[in-house]
Chains A and B, each alone.
Chain A
C-alpha cells in the first residue's frame, strides 16, 4: 500500500493485526505440541486425514488377521499333536495285531491282546473327540460337543472352517473326521473293533486284512499331519508378514498424524520470539506523540 498519510488508528490496527496473527500462529503450534498431533481436524490436511483413516482401517484389519492367525495356530497345533499321539497308538495296535498273527499261544494271551486293542480304541476315540475351545476339531461345523459317538460313528457336520490370516491368505483350520479316519466299515474304529474280534477268534485272514487296513490308516494320518504341518507353516509366514505390515502401518500413521517434536519446539520458539517482537514494537510505536515534545 502506498502510504501518504499514517494515523494513530492505522498503527493501532496494524499492530493489533500482527499481534493477532502472531498469537494465532503461536496457538497453532501450541495445539500441535499439546495434542502431539499435526492432524487435529480434517481441514488441517484433507489428504493426510484420508491417509490416516485408511491406515487406521488397514491397521484394524492387520490386527484382525493377527487374532485370526492366533486362533488358527491354536487349532492346527492341537490337531497336529492329537494326530501325532493317535499315530503312535495306532502303531501300537498294529503291533498287537501282528503279535496275534505271529501266533499268540493260548486264548488267555489272545484275550489280553484283544483287551489292549480295545483300550487303544477307546483312547483313540477319546482323542478323536478332542476339542479346541469347546469345539471338536474333527467335527466340522457341528453344534454338538463331540465328533464321534461311543460306537465310533462320526456325528459331526461336514463344512470347512477357515481363517483369513493375511489380506489374501485364507487357511482351512479343521480336519473332518472321515477324511482322516475313514468312514463306515473302513473307519479306524471299525477296523480296530474287527481286529480285536479277529485276535480273540484267532482268525488269520481277518487279522491280515486288519493289518493292511491299519497300515492304510497310518499312511492317511501321516499324510494329513503333513498337510496340517504345511498349513501351520503358512499361518506362521502370514503372522510374520502381518507383524511387519503392522509395524510399517504404525510408523506411517505416526508420520502422518503425529507432530515432529523438535521441529514443533523450534517453531514454538520462533513464534514466541516473533510475538514478543510484535508486542515490543507496538509498545514503542504507540507511546510517543508530538504532545511529549511540545511545551
Chain B
C-alpha cells in the first residue's frame, strides 16, 4: 500500500519530466535552422512497481510516476553514410564543372574572335598575298595575321596553364582546410571518449562530429567509420586521416611546371603517398583536373600548334622571298609546350616565301601555304568538340548527382529535421501535462486538508 504522500511524489515526477519535455521542445525549436543539428526526443518511462520480483519484500505500489528514460538523437547511421558518400561525389563533380566552365569560356568558340576565326583570317591573308604578290600591304597582312593567330593560340594555352597553376594552389589551400577539419574532428573524438566515461550528455558533440565528418568527405571523399568509443575515424584509400584523437596532415607537392601532382598523408612520422585518383570530393576533383583533364587539353592545343606549324613551314620552305632565299620556316615553337611558345619566325615581309620561281612576282606558293591551314583548323575543331563534350558530360553528371544528393539529404532531413508543428504540439502537450500534474498536487493537497482539518469536525 502506498503512503499518504506518494501521490505528491508522482505529481512531482510528472512536473519534472514535463519540464524536461518542454526544455527539449524549446531546444529543438531554437535549433530549427542550425546546420548539422539533429532533433532530440525525450523518452519517458513510467516508474511503477519494482520490476524485480522479490520473495520477502513484496511491493504493492500501484504507480510511481514518470522519469526521463533517454534523450534520443534521431539519426540513422546508414543514411549518414549514404549522405556523406553522395556529398563527396557532389563536391567532386561541382568543382570539376566550375573549373571546366571557366576554361571553356576562355575558348571563345564559336565566334569571331577565337582561334578558328584567326585560322580563317590567316588562310585568307595568304590567299590574298597569292593574288597580289607584288603588294607590300599583302605581305604585311600575312605577317600580322600570323602574329594574331600565334597570339590566339598562346592565349588559350596560357589560360589552361594558369588554371593548372591556380588549381595547384587550390589543392594546397584545400590541404590546409582538411588538416584543420581533421584536427577538429580528433579533438571532438577525444571529448566524446571522455564524455562516454563520465556519462555527460554527448548529443551536441555527436552533432559536431557528424558535421566534421561530412565536411571531411566533401573535401577528400574519405570514408568515415564510427568507433566503439563514439568517435569517428576517417580514412582515404585505406590510409588513416583521423584515428581517435590523433589526426594526420595532407601533403601536396609538384603539380606545376610539368611536375606531376603528388598527394600524401603525413601522420607525423611517415608520409604515405595516396594516388591522386583515389581521392574524392573537392581535392579529388582538383587532383583529377591537374593531372588529367587540363594537361590533356593543353596537349591537344600543342597538337594543333604543331600540325599548323609543320604544314605551314613545309609549304613555306619551298617558296622564295623577295630576297631570293628559300627554305625558311614561317612559324617557330618550343617542342615542349608548342602552343604556349608558337610565334612567327619571319621578321621582314621580304622573307615571306611567296614565289615558286626565284626573283619573280609568282604568288603560287603563297596560295599553297594558305591551303595548308585547313588541317590545323579541323584538328582544332576536333579539340573544341572534345572539350565541349567533356564539359557537357560533367555538367550533366553534376546535375544528375544533385538529384541523388537532394534525395538522400531529404531522407536524412525527414529523420533528423525539426518540425515546428510537431514541436509546438509537444510543447502544448507538455504544458497541459504540467498543468494536470499541478492539479494532481493541489487535489491531493485538498484531500489531505480534508483529512487533517475536517476529520471529526461536525459543524
Contact = CB atoms under 8 A, between A and B. Distances in A.
Interface of A: 1, 3-10, 13-14, 17, 39, 41-47, 49-50, 52-54, 56-57, 60-61, 63-64, 67-68, 71, 133-135, 140-143, 157, 159, 161-164, 257, 289-291, 294
Nearest to B117: A56
Contacts of B421: 289-290
Given A13-B406, A49-B384, 16 more contacts: A1-B407, A1-B411, A7-B414, A8-B419, A10-B414, A41-B105, A42-B385, A57-B116, A57-B119, A60-B121, A143-B360, A159-B362, A164-B127, A164-B367, A290-B424, A294-B428
Given A17-B406, A135-B134, A4 B414 contact: yes
B417 A39 contact: no
Contacts of A257: 110
Contacts of A157: 357, 359-360
Nearest to B378: A54
A163 B381 contact: no
Interface in B416-437: 417-421, 424-425, 428
Interface residues of B, number: 59
A94 B383 CA distance: 68
B120 A56 contact: yes
Interface string B126-142: 01100110100000000
A258 B10 CA distance: 80
A133 B382 CA distance: 41
B123 A43 contact: no
B142 to A, nearest CB: 14
A159 B364 CA distance: 10
B410 to A, nearest CB: 5
Contact of B131 (A3, A17, A53, A67): A67
11 contacts: A6-B414, A9-B418, A13-B409, A13-B410, A13-B413, A41-B107, A45-B388, A49-B109, A53-B377, A141-B357, A289-B420
Contact of B419 (A7, A54, A68, A159): A7
Contacts of A135: 134, 361
Nearest to A12: B33
Closest 5 CB pairs of A and B: A42-B388, A7-B417, A46-B388, A43-B391, A60-B120
Contact of B110 (A43, A52, A60, A163): A52
B389 A46 contact: yes
A133 B362 contact: no
Contacts, number: 157
Nearest to A139: B361
Interface in B27-64: 32-33
Contact of A9 (B33, B377, B381): B33
Contacts of A43: 104, 388-389, 391-392, 395
B413 A9 contact: yes
B377 A67 contact: no
A143 B128 contact: no
- Best-surrounded residue of A3, A161, A162 (most CB of chain B within 10 A): A161
DSSP class of B's interface residues: helix, strand, loop or mixed? Answer: helix
Contacts of A60: 120-121, 123-124
Contacts of A161: 362-363
Nearest to A65: B127
A6 B132 CA distance: 78
B123 A294 contact: no
Given A42-B109, A68-B131, A8 B418 contact: yes
Contacts of B391: 41-43
B110 A49 contact: yes
Nearest to B395: A43
B357 A290 contact: no
Contacts of B105: 41
B424 A291 contact: yes
Nearest to B387: A42
A47 B131 contact: no
Nearest to A170: B367
B415 interface: yes
Interface of B: 32-33, 104-105, 107, 109-110, 116-117, 119-121, 123-124, 127-128, 131-132, 134, 355, 357, 359-364, 367, 374, 377-378, 380-382, 384-389, 391-392, 395, 406-407, 409-411, 413-415, 417-421, 424-425, 428
A5 B411 CA distance: 9
Given A42-B391, A68-B127, A141 B120 contact: no
B398 to A, nearest CB: 12
A133 B138 CA distance: 14
B425 A42 contact: no
B81 to A, nearest CB: 18
B419 A134 contact: no
Contact of A3 (B134, B363, B378, B414): B414
Given A42-B104, A57-B120, A64-B127, A142 B413 contact: no
A290 B127 contact: no
B357 A133 contact: no
Nearest to A58: B120
Contacts of B407: 1
A104 B34 CA distance: 124
Nearest to B412: A10
Nearest to A289: B420
A50 B367 contact: no
A177 to B, nearest CB: 15
Given A41-B107, A50-B385, A290-B421, A141 B413 contact: no
B355 to A, nearest CB: 7
Which of the listed residues B361, B367, B381 has the most CB atoms from chain A within 10 Å of its own CB?
A: B361
User: Counting chain A CB atoms within 10 Å of each CB, which of B107, B409, B410 scores highest?
Assistant: B410
Nearest to B413: A10
A228 to B, nearest CB: 18
B157 to A, nearest CB: 17
B195 to A, nearest CB: 27
Nearest to B370: A64
A65 B398 CA distance: 46
B189 to A, nearest CB: 28
B357 A159 contact: yes
Contacts of B116: 53, 56-57
Given A41-B388, A46-B385, A67-B131, A10 B417 contact: yes
B235 to A, nearest CB: 30
A14 B377 CA distance: 47
Contacts of A64: 123-124, 127-128
A184 to B, nearest CB: 22
Contacts of A143: 134, 359-361
A64 B378 CA distance: 18
Most buried by B among A5, A57, A61, A163: A57
A1 B110 contact: no
Interface centre among A8, A43, A47, A67 (most CB of B within 10 A): A43
A24 to B, nearest CB: 10
